[in-house]
């Protein structure tokens, strides 16, 4: 049975009382200079948790410009606060006290919701890895020998992770031309990557691996991630050590962090893994999540957008508890604010690929988007990642990730 919320417009909005995602904001046009602080989205409004805490209606470090202090408090506190917030927005007797702490979303400015500690990007979609393998190794096995044995990943750059709606400047770097010459300049094969990120709340101890069945208790919530990629720069530089400048210039994340608890009702059984993973990667419970994902593009100069990809997160081969268990098995430890990204999420059918390099077959088959051809991103193009889940008949809408491409500096 769905909850009934007294906040106008919240019920059935995608941001109902069952959701309550966290963000960091300030009033956009306030005459009083106030520091960024923590809020929760309910419908098309933001509930000012710092104000509520000041009035004794909720407890927590919500007068901070980051979710990190709250995330570090752990699952029991997250659950206590979530239950209290549900009471505050569902009990109409509290509306007179809580109502003054509500602000319209269009009246606030949103910030990156957490301070990023470390950033790890995985390569966990079987379809994505297979598609790229066929493009880059057409005469060989599309999957490298290790892929089905462990979740492949790399350590990224946390300093260039930005919040949704931050413009993305076209990166520059070296690339090799078809005739073999090496040149320096703006990327000509700028791409997207549709990903889901898991935000670590509870740190782990150094040198002690996180057991796979304890991994979910370290995760605070979920964000959409666009790990922008310069394919030409990446192709020239990545061997033998992997991604560098072609991936480190910008990674965009949602302004709203959906609590992992809000998605418990969309857990499902993921793909069968063959061969059976080693014991440290074998979980007692499956943590595949049935999230519907999509990518929209608005070409430069157009006022219309079009969905260019639709897929499901449920088909991801390697799940996040396996990613965290593998990440820490060598003694590396988790820190509050770590971002663990899934890698590009692609599906098995045409139009379900999570990157342009797949959608256009390496640029050989251009897309037509509202009448405009696209192989890769042009200056002025805007991309929006969207996601949602059906949780026991209630729609949970993930915070979008939006970004527009600006010319190289």
Residues with catalytic roles: 128
Which phi and psi (to 5°) does residue 269 adopt? -90, 125
112 and 163 Cβ atoms separated by less than 8 Å: yes
Q: What is the DSSP letter of 16?
A: -
Could you tell me if 67 and 22 are in contact, meaning their C-beta atoms sit under 8 angstroms apart?
yes
Mind spelling out the 3-state secondary structure of 307-351?
EEEEEEHHHCCCCHHHHHHHHHCCCCCCCCCCEEECCCCCCCCCC
Give 86's DSSP letter. Answer: H
Radius of gyration of the chain (CA): 21
Give the position of tokens 């740190």. 203
**3-state class percentages of the chain: helix first, strand second, coil last, to nearest 5:** 25, 30, 50
Q: Is 10 exposed, middle or buried (0-12, 13-18, 19+ CB in 10 A)?
A: buried
DSSP string covering 122-183:
E---HHHHHHHHHHH-TTS-SS-TTTTTS--EEE--GGGEEETT--EEPPEEEEE-TTS-EE
**394 strand-pairing partners:** 391
**Measured distance CA(198)–CA(375) in Å, rounded:** 30
CA–CA separation, 8 vs 45, rounded Å?
9
Please give the structure tokens belonging to residue 295. 């990518």
Whether the Cβ atoms of residue 49 and residue 40 lie closer than 8 Å to each other: yes
Q: Is 382 helix (H, G, I), strand (E, B) or coil?
A: strand
Residue carrying the six token digits 């990007």 = 121
Alpha-carbon gap, residue 232 to 237, rounded angstroms: 9
The rounded distance, in Å, linking the Cα atoms of 61 and 68 is: 9
Two tokens at 37? Answer: 């602080």
């Amino acid at each position: 049975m769905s909850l009934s919320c007294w906040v106008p417009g919240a019920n059935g909005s995608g941001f109902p009382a069952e959701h309550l995602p966290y963000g960091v904001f300030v009033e956009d046009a306030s005459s009083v200079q106030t520091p960024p602080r923590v809020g929760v989205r309910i419908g098309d409004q933001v509930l000012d948790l710092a104000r509520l805490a000041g009035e004794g209606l909720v407890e927590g470090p919500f007068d901070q410009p980051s979710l990190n202090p709250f995330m570090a408090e752990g699952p029991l506190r997250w659950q206590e606060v979530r239950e209290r917030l549900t009471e505050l927005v569902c009990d109409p007797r509290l509306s007179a006290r809580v109502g003054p702490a509500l602000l319209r979303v269009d009246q606030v400015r949103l910030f990156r919701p957490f301070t990023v500690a470390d950033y790890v990007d995985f390569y966990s979609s079987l379809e994505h890895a297979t598609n790229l393998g066929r493009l880059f190794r057409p005469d060989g096995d599309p999957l490298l020998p290790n892929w089905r044995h462990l979740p492949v990943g790399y350590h990224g750059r946390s300093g260039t992770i930005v919040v949704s709606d931050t413009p993305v400047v076209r990166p520059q770097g070296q690339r090799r031309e078809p005739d073999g010459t090496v040149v320096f300049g703006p990327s000509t094969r700028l791409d997207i990557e549709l990903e889901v990120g898991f935000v670590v709340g509870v740190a782990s101890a150094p040198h002690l691996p996180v057991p796979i069945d304890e991994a979910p208790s370290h995760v605070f919530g979920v964000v959409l991630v666009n790990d922008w990629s310069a394919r030409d720069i990446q192709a020239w530089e990545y061997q033998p050590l992997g991604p560098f400048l072609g991936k480190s210039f910008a990674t965009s994340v949602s302004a709203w962090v959906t609590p992992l608890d809000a998605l418990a009702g969309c857990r499902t059984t993921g793909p069968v893994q063959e061969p059976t993973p080693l014991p440290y990667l074998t979980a007692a419970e499956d943590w595949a999540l049935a999230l519907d994902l999509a990518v929209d593009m608005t070409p430069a100069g157009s006022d219309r957008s079009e969905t260019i990809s639709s897929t499901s997160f449920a088909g991801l081969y390697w799940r996040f508890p396996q990613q965290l268990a593998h990440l820490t098995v060598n003694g590396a430890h988790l820190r509050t604010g770590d971002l663990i990204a899934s890698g590009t999420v692609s599906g098995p059918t045409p139009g379900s690929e999570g990157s342009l390099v797949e959608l256009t077959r390496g640029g050989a088959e251009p897309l037509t988007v509202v009448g405009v051809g696209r192989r890769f991103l042009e200056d002025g193009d805007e991309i929006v990642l969207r996601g949602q889940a059906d949780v026991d008949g209630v729609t949970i809408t993930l915070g979008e990730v939006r970004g527009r491409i600006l010319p190289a500096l």
